[in-house]
């Protein structure tokens, strides 16, 4: 099962609204050799993206802080993962109550898949 | 109905104190007009749909129901039908004016407007008198401003696989280099999908000063800022990098390692190459931070100066390079011959390649918009 990760591309606050553009990626945690500046390589275990699953645009009334936006986006990606049958990477995993709380913060949300 | 959801306008005195007792709009530019009308729409509609309010605004008593007012337009419900769900609007008419007629009118009759508005028992967090007082204290025009707001754009680089932007580190490693060789020599490698990003210099384990330098790394962070409006006036911007870890093998280097943002001109916005090492600028975009002032597990904010602000692209990608000031000045840090092991000065910061966005490099741009008034017309739709 692919692990999905969400990255915010931009947050725009204008005219009393917050617009968030995010990219959702699928990937896996793997160990691969990575080059270092001294010419050597060493094995590094980390999340690696295989491709993009979706791009989404959220527009919500109100001007939200970055922290609020990050929590909200994490909640949305948890919802999306459930819909797609993917697993959210641990760092972004939330329980259902956290998802509900974070999404509830953003009233009057409009969402578009790009 | 949300025709106002476009660009914000502003009223700003540019240092001129607005005199509410003798309002004079000359010399002011617009600050957040649309936002003001949006915020106060319920109150304004109450006023516009009663005789006293219409007298104030100079609108005929028998004009149709007004359903929206903006700085230069009033919308009427020309045909309505009462249904079980309430009043249904069948036909809408709009009276568009050249210039911000309604914003200008309210501003020029500000004190009367406040008095009348308070008769409508309108309550807000501050109330109109409060807003007026606030405006006087700040020397800014409230109408049509409400409170002064700026727009902001926060941008992050793309992770791998990149779409529009990139972040990466490019380096030169070469045995027996002088410091000048490191600074002016060609890049020998790039790591564009690694994490974290870093800026460093490396002293070789063997050799004699000044020819025992081994490596230097510069970093670049690219941000897609094309969504900035073409008519945006950028008032400030901050480039931020999240401290991950750092090391200084010599205490002396702690006072010699300064980090700052500079211009960079990579050949591609998404595929960094070793040759990009030679495309870093030397005019700083912000005040450099000394090693001891660079924080870990938090963002390090660099407020861009005029050169940095001028480098922000409204149509494409804003490119910021990171290097040490010793690199820029081509001034060698303290050198030790034959230290016995490679010695590092390194400062690592979060890369877009990491999961999530909370530690990614970011660029926050604050801007205002110019006025967008257009011609006048009357539409029925």
* Predicted local confidence at residue B335, as pLDDT: 95
**Distances in whole angstroms, Cα of residue B64 to Cα of each of B46, B50, B59:** 14, 11, 10
Task: Give the closest residue to A80 by CA, choosing from A21, A4, A8, A19.
Answer: A4
Q: Whole-structure pTM over 0.90, yes or no?
A: no
Site from A3, A4, A10, A36 to mutate, B interface, most B CB atoms within 10 angstroms? A10
Quote the pLDDT of residue A84: 77
ipTM: 0.90
On average, the pLDDT of chain B sits at 80
Residue from the list B154, B194, B214 with its beta carbon closest to the beta carbon of A10: B154
H or E segment to which residue B236 belongs: strand B232-248
Interface of A with B (CB under 8 A): 5-17, 23, 25, 34-39, 44, 46-47, 49, 51-52, 63, 66, 70, 73-74, 89, 91-92
Question: Which among B156, B158, B171 has CB closest to A37?
Answer: B171
Q: Which residue has the tokens 């010695």?
A: B343
Query: pLDDT tens across B290-337, in order?
Result: 999 999 999 999 999 999 999 999 999 999 999 999 999 999 999 999
| Mean pLDDT within A99-105 | 73
Q: Looking at the predicted structure, is the pLDDT value of residue B351 above 80?
A: yes
Inform me whether the pLDDT recorded for B29 exceeds 70: no
CA count, 13 A, side-chain hemisphere, B307: 14
Please report, rounded to a whole number, the percentage of residues in chain B having pLDDT higher than 90: 52
Question: Hey, are the CB atoms on A73 and B357 less than 8 Å from each other?
Answer: yes
For testing contact with chain A, the best of B71, B217, B317, B355 (most A CBs within 10 A): B355
Count of residues for chain B?
Answer: 381
Please report the pLDDT score of residue B364 as a whole number. 96
Q: What is the pLDDT of residues A23-72, one digit of tens each?
A: 989 899 999 988 877 778 889 899 999 988 888 888 887 778 888 888 88
pLDDT band at A113 (very low <50, low <70, confident <90, very high): low
pLDDT of the residue at B134: 31
Would the CB atoms of A15 and B34 count as touching at under 8 Å? yes
When mean pLDDT is compared across A27-41, B210-224, B362-376, the lowest value belongs to B362-376
Q: For residues B80 and B90, give the distance between their C-alpha atoms in angstroms, rounded to a whole number.
A: 5
Of A5, A9, A66, the CB nearest to B158: A9
- In this model, does residue B270 exceed pLDDT 70? yes
Residues of B within 8 A of A63 (CB-CB) are 149
Task: Tell me the pLDDT band of B245, cut-offs 50, 70 and 90.
Answer: very high
Q: Which of B66, B92, B85, B223 is nearest to B154 (CA)?
A: B223
User: What percent of the residues of chain B are helix, what percent strand, and what percent coil, each to the nearest 5?
Assistant: 20, 35, 45
């Amino acid at each position: 099962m692919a692990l999905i990760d969400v990255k915010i591309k931009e947050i725009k606050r204008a005219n009393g609204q917050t617009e968030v553009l995010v990219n959702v990626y699928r990937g896996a945690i793997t160990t691969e050799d990575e080059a270092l500046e001294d010419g050597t390589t060493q094995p590094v275990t980390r999340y690696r993206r295989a491709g993009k699953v979706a791009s989404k645009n959220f527009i919500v009334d109100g001007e939200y802080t970055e922290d609020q936006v990050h929590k909200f986006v994490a909640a949305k990606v948890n919802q999306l993962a459930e819909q797609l049958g993917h697993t959210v990477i641990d760092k972004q995993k939330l329980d259902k109550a956290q998802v509900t709380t974070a999404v509830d913060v953003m009233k009057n949300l409009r969402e578009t898949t790009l | 109905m949300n025709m106002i959801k476009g660009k914000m306008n502003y009223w700003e005195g540019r240092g001129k104190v607005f005199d509410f007792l003798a309002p004079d709009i000359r010399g002011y530019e617009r600050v957040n007009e649309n936002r003001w009308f949006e915020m106060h729409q319920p109150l304004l509609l109450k006023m516009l749909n009663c005789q006293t309010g219409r007298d104030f605004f100079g609108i005929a008593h028998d004009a149709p129901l007004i359903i929206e007012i903006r700085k230069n337009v009033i919308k009427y419900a020309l045909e309505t039908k009462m249904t079980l769900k309430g009043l249904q609007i069948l036909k809408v008419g709009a009276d568009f004016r050249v210039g911000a007629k309604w914003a200008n009118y309210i501003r020029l009759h500000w004190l009367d407007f406040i008095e009348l508005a308070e008769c409508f028992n309108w309550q807000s967090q501050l109330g109109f008198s409060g807003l007026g007082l606030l405006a006087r204290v700040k020397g800014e025009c409230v109408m049509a401003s409400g409170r002064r707001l700026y727009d902001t754009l926060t941008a992050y680089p793309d992770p791998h696989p990149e779409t529009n932007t990139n972040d990466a580190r490019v380096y030169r490693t070469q045995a027996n280099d002088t410091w000048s060789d490191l600074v002016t020599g060609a890049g020998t490698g790039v790591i564009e999908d690694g994490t974290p990003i870093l800026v460093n210099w490396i002293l070789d384990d063997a050799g004699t000063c000044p020819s025992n330098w081994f490596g230097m790394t510069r970093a670049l962070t690219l941000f897609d800022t094309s969504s900035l409006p073409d008519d945006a006036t950028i008032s400030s911007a901050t480039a931020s990098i999240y401290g991950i870890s750092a090391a200084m093998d010599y205490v002396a280097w702690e006072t010699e390692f300064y980090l700052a943002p500079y211009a960079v001109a990579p050949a591609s916005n998404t595929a960094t190459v070793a040759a990009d090492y030679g495309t870093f600028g030397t005019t700083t975009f912000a005040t450099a931070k000394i090693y001891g002032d660079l924080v870990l597990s938090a963002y390090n904010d660099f407020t861009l100066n005029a050169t940095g602000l001028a480098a922000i692209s409204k149509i494409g990608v804003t490119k910021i390079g990171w290097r040490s000031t010793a690199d820029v000045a081509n001034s060698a840090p303290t050198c030790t011959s034959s230290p016995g092991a490679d010695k590092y000065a390194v400062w690592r910061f979060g890369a877009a390649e990491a999961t999530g966005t909370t530690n990614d490099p970011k660029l926050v741009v604050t801007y205002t918009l110019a006025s967008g008034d257009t011609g006048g017309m009357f539409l029925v739709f």
